[in-house]
Structure 1
Amino acid sequence: MNRKKKINQTLKAKAKKANAKLHHTGKPKYVSKAERERLAADTDTPSESATLN
């Protein structure tokens, strides 16, 4: 009984992981605070140089 249970448990886990890969959530990817600040600085820099010209 234990061998069958272990095999079924392994197969179910693999099926669950495969199913999870197929269904993506609409949740956006996490961006760290430092990365957000860097991106904001990058977007601010070109607009400032455009106003100087």
Structure 2
Amino acid sequence: MNRKKKIKTTLLAKKKKANAKLHKSNKPKYVSKAERARLAAESETTDNTIENSAVQEGEASEGKA
């Protein structure tokens, strides 16, 4: 009985591991605190450049009119 139980449990464990590999987690990838700060700084600079270019375009169109 013990031999059958051991074989059954090892095969069941292999099956569970294979099944777990098929179903990946839906958790988002971990982003470190430093990486989040860097991304925030990058997005802030891009937002500022977009706002500055919009303001400059507005001034240019007012000057033509």
TM-score range, shorter chain: 0.5 to 0.7
Task: Point out the structure with max Rg over C-alpha.
Answer: 2
In the alignment, structure 1 residue 11 sits paired with structure 2 residue 30: no
In the alignment, structure 1 residue 44 sits paired with structure 2 residue 24: no
Considering fraction of residues, name the structure with more helix: 2
Give the TM-score of the pair, scaled to structure 1: 0.62
- Indicate the RMSD between aligned Cα atoms, in angstroms: 2.1
Give % identity. Answer: 63
Q: Give unpaired runs (5+ residues) of structure 1.
A: none
Give the TM-score of the pair, scaled to structure 2: 0.55
